[in-house]
Amino acid sequence: MNVIKCDLPREIELLEIHTFADWHIGDANCDMHLIKNNVKAVQDNPNAYVIVNGDILNNATKTSVSDSYAEEIPPMEQIQTAVDLFEPIKDKILAINLGNHERRTYNKEGIDLMAIVAKQLGIYEKYSKESSFLFVRFGERSNKHKESNGSGKVRKLCYTIYCNHGSGGGRKEGAKAIRLADMASIVDADVYIHSHTHLPMIIKQSFHRVDIPNSYIAVVDKLFVNTAATLNYGGYSEQFEYKPPSKDCPIIYLDGTKKKMYAKL
């Protein structure tokens, strides 16, 4: 688990977190037009940031479910395409996780394709082969409580985010929801982000968080988000009778004046 501290501007009153995952660059059904529009939306919004959560590259092999003969571009070109897409927003990327499609080459040959992408972008410290845990600080508390470091500045809001590309999930929506909710059994966080199953989903639950130093139990919200894929219907999804996927991906919103979070499709 890669722990990342993200110190963002105080001026942000509402932070947008976009998750880029399951692009499957190279697949014949990859919706490159939608991908470019999503990147531009982040680029044009000063309050928008990104978590890259795996399967950016399709990376089909002869032994994978994906059809290696149907790839539109080979893996090396897939890498360069990803780098070119991310370059304008590289300073807005908070974390990068490996997906199972990229992991194929790592498992077989020891070559980590997404590590190459991260290094070319100059943000390798934000990369993880497994999962990432983020401390995201920004904004200023409306109660004007000061920072404890003696700076005299108003204290920033802090949100914790746990993200993992994910695995499994099965065909049914219930199984995919369970996979998403089970992330809370790994680590305590405010927001959980899961990809892989291609089913956009938002769940919000209450949780009793123990504050040991103050002998206090706080009732807090937890936000669970499963992300979509930018794939048109076809290929092995159609061949094996999976449902056509929605390409609408939830956007996470974090309030910069008080602890409040939500997501929208």
**Residues β-bridged to residue 191:** 161, 223
Gap between the Cα atoms of 192 and 187, Å rounded: 10
For the ranges 14-23, 88-97, 171-180, the lowest mean pLDDT is seen at 171-180
- Looking at this protein, which amino acid is placed at residue 147? E
Tell me which residue range forms the domain holding 103.
Answer: 2-264
CA distance 191 to 60: 31
pLDDT cut 90: percent of the chain above it = 79
With 0-12 CB in 10 A as exposed, 13-18 as middle and 19+ as buried, what is 258?
exposed
- Phi, psi dihedral angles at 141 (to 5 degrees): -65, 135
Centroid of chain to Cα 95? 8
Q: Which pair of tokens denotes residue 117?
A: 């992408």
8-state DSSP, 195: -
Task: Name the more confident of 149 and 94.
Answer: 94
Query: Residue 242 is part of a domain; what is its CATH number?
Result: 3.60.21.10
Beta bridge partners of residue 133, listed in sequence order: 3, 162
Grade residue 106 by pLDDT with cuts at 50, 70 and 90. Answer: confident
How many C-alpha atoms does 227 have within 13 Å on its Cβ side?
Answer: 30
16 touches 47 (CB < 8 A): yes
CA–CA gap between residue 114 and residue 98 (Å, rounded): 6
How far is 251 from 253, CA to CA, in rounded Å? 7
At residue 100, the 3 state secondary structure works out as: helix
Cβ atoms of residues 115 and 149 within 8 Å: no
Which phi and psi angles does 152 have, rounded to 5°? 85, -5
Q: How many domains does the chain have?
A: 1
- Dihedral sign from CA coordinates of 177, 180, 186, 192: negative
Contact 162, 190 (CB under 8 A): no
CB-count exposure of residue 10 (10 Å: 0-12, 13-18, 19+): middle
Interval 34-82: pLDDT, tens: 999 999 999 999 999 999 999 999 986 555 455 554 677 888 999 999 9
* 198, 245 contact by CB (below 8 A): yes
What mean pLDDT is reported for the chain?
93
| The amino acid at 60 | A
| Interval 146-175: pLDDT, tens | 887 878 889 999 999 999 999 987 889 999
